[in-house]
Chain A
């Protein structure tokens, strides 16, 4: 009998769900009972809704266990490891046992996330066992010229995964064609888009793939120095990147004359972002690395011509770089086999919101939104009605249910008014108010506007005021038209992507859900029963036990009634704070 191996998923999500304690518990019991099995760690497996995840590999195969909290560890060790009898109820996926959650993996194609959840992210050896740094070795052994490398990237058709969707190979070509004694490669890991976390997962789960991608890029464009600009909110990612960079240096993958290519040197530094969404924009990011306020600059000149410290610079995001080694090693045809005519390869989506199976999924381009939500994501929580999906974060828009048959493809998504963005997919059901969501995004972009362009600085503020007014039942008859007018002006007169796209959430929700705006403005009603100021709270007499919990909690004493008698809410005093609704344990407060 071979020794069993226990692998615990220790990404940020797993840790938040208690995987650290699970990991410790396996260690504790192994030591206490003097058992003989290996314990390893890996990062995000993608199935966030069943964290903590534990995989057990033994002679009979691989078994993925879900929701393994500390209490289940003992049982799993007792039954599975000691007595070789797996516990089907806890298993999500294995050769023999399937669960209804297995569907989450069907239809996924893992290129970007090829190693995530399979390797110990702090071990360069495990990365290399799965073909790590072989792409760079291939370049060296086959004497692939920089132009040939760029040709491969161009032929693969990969487009920038950060949101813009600009062909990565073109960007590299521009940077290569600009002659300079110093060039830079920058990895944009400032994943500021609320609702997206694939870059974090890649950095935490497979940091070497990003580093290798950057080395390949440096070789192709002729750079010798690189920066990874990572959000300070991702401490684990930064820690693992530092470990990976040290390993790469000691293995000789970073430094001078690397991979036996004479004259090819590369060094990579980490820059911690200081918390500004606008720094995801490439010229603002460069300003931030230079130590200035992260404000965008006019383009042209583009960074490929004059970027960091005025040298030619190529910027790609984490997901793009993670794909590069795979493309070089397997060839452009292998990558272009997936996807649609103009959007090749796979894309990682962060599936969140009112969805049953939230997590990270990597799917071939061209799959429909509906398939992602229903086949992989398992549908809507509580089987409520699917209303819309928000794609692309604050720069994107809402795609309504009736358009969910469209395939994910840069151009098809753009046609709806949303954008692919970095791949955040927030699912909304009938209880989500789209006006409130639009207000939420405007609140975000208004705070994050750097203030350079007048229309972005002031326009977003005015739009936010109008939206807030509408959600509070104070909307005016011509508000929708005013919103549209300001929105188009901001789009037309902003320098960077933040301003040019900030109005998208409002424009798409007006386009697809105009009736909801009108209901707020004309009838002072929120059809989704979400905007607090537009709700009435009432006591359901049959359910009320007269426990007085609501009355005690009410901040304005709007609830009257004797103990053990049904209470009553005084509507003219009520401020719709919702405290009574959360305090009531007997479902005796009704919203309307």
Chain B
């Protein structure tokens, strides 16, 4: 059981963000799935699509509008690997830890990125650009070792190449940020 995915303590920083959560965004989603049987997972998936994670306020909203029990929703959200209860970085790095990738040495690559970004599995970098995650299998086994950033899949990696890709993305993000300023 993936106990570590359940946050052990309430992060006050996150609660402070609550004012910025626009619950109106959920309206079309709720309209679509309200009163449909088996709607719990699609509702949670849709909510995560909107906010990048499932904020506490969204749970409360779903509870008041659809009548789904909070404990039931929390039970489902913590059961499946897909759901997040805290905000993720802009880019999610999914490191494939499937069999083929394992045999081809993906652990060394994950370690390299973990050192480079100074985060552990499931954590988000301080600059909120990256979240590093290990996943079971991305299904590109013949290109092992593989990682996926956003929708892009990178294959036949070495630790150096992976670091280079991540650095490049970070540099572009920083450039974009500076342009905005």
Set of chain A residues within 8 Å of B81, measured between Cβ atoms: 274-276
Q: Is the CB of A275 within 8 A of B80?
A: yes
Q: Is the CB of A197 within 8 A of B1?
A: no
Q: Which of B11-19, B57-65, B139-147, B171-179 contacts A (4 or more CB under 8 A)?
A: B139-147
In whole angstroms, how far apart are the Cα atoms of A457 and B79 in the complex? 14
Q: Which of A73-81, A284-292, A321-329, A363-371 contacts B (4 or more CB under 8 A)?
A: A284-292
A97 sits at the interface (CB 8 A): no
Kindly identify, within residues 46 to 101 of chain A, every residue whose CB is under 8 Å from any CB belonging to chain B. Answer: 48-49, 51
Return the CB mask of B153-171 against A: 1 if under 8 Å, else 0.
1111001000000000000
Return the CB mask of B77-91 against A: 1 if under 8 Å, else 0.
001111100000000
Q: Is the CB of A294 within 8 A of B159?
A: no
Q: Is the CB of B141 within 8 A of A192?
A: no
Q: Is the CB of A294 within 8 A of B79?
A: yes
Set of chain B residues within 8 Å of A272, measured between Cβ atoms: 42, 45
In whole angstroms, how far apart are the Cα atoms of A291 and B139 in the complex? 25
Q: Is the CB of B143 within 8 A of A51?
A: yes
A352 sits at the interface (CB 8 A): yes
A589 sits at the interface (CB 8 A): no
Q: Is the CB of A48 within 8 A of B76?
A: no
Set of chain A residues within 8 Å of B98, measured between Cβ atoms: 194-195
Select one of B75, B82, B141 contacting A232, CB under 8 A.
B82
Select one of B45, B97, B138, B159 contacting A274, CB under 8 A.
B45
Q: Is the CB of A274 within 8 A of B135?
A: no
Given A309-B37, A440-B99, verify A353-B104 contact (CB < 8 Å): yes
Set of chain A residues within 8 Å of B76, measured between Cβ atoms: 291-293
B118 sits at the interface (CB 8 A): no
Select one of A194, A200, A288, A291 contacting B100, CB under 8 A.
A194
User: How extensive is the interface on chain B, given as a class?
Assistant: 35 or more
Set of chain B residues within 8 Å of A457, measured between Cβ atoms: 1
Q: Is the CB of A450 within 8 A of B79?
A: yes
Set of chain A residues within 8 Å of B139, measured between Cβ atoms: 12, 191, 196-197, 200, 233-234
Q: Is the CB of B142 within 8 A of A351?
A: yes
Select one of A16, A277, A437 contacting B136, CB under 8 A.
A277
Set of chain B residues within 8 Å of A223, measured between Cβ atoms: none
Set of chain A residues within 8 Å of B1, measured between Cβ atoms: 447, 449-451, 457
A558 sits at the interface (CB 8 A): no
Q: Is the CB of A195 within 8 A of B41?
A: no
Set of chain A residues within 8 Å of B44, measured between Cβ atoms: 274
Kindly identify, within residues 278 to 306 of chain A, every residue whose CB is under 8 Å from any CB belonging to chain B. Answer: 288-294
In whole angstroms, how far apart are the Cα atoms of A200 and B138 in the complex? 10
In whole angstroms, how far apart are the Cα atoms of A296 and B39 in the complex? 19
Q: Is the CB of B155 within 8 A of A275?
A: no
In whole angstroms, how far apart are the Cα atoms of A351 and B143 in the complex? 11
What are 25 A-B residue pairs whose CB atoms fall within 8 Å in the complex?
A: A12-B138, A13-B140, A16-B155, A17-B155, A48-B142, A194-B100, A196-B139, A274-B82, A274-B83, A290-B37, A293-B79, A294-B79, A294-B80, A353-B104, A353-B144, A358-B100, A358-B141, A424-B141, A426-B99, A426-B103, A440-B102, A444-B136, A447-B1, A448-B136, A582-B108
Residues of A within 8 A of B (CB): 12-13, 15-17, 48-49, 51, 191-197, 200, 232-235, 271-272, 274-277, 288-294, 309, 350-354, 358-359, 390, 393, 424, 426, 428, 432, 437, 440-441, 444, 447-451, 457, 578, 582
- Name 12 extra pairs, CB < 8 A, besides A16-B143, A49-B142, A440-B99: A13-B143, A194-B98, A194-B141, A232-B82, A233-B138, A233-B139, A234-B139, A276-B79, A276-B81, A353-B144, A354-B103, A426-B100
Residues of B within 8 A of A (CB): 1-2, 37-42, 44-45, 75-76, 79-83, 97-100, 102-104, 108, 135-144, 146, 151, 153-156, 159
Which 3 pairs across A and B sit closest by C-beta, in order of nearness? A48-B142, A194-B98, A275-B81
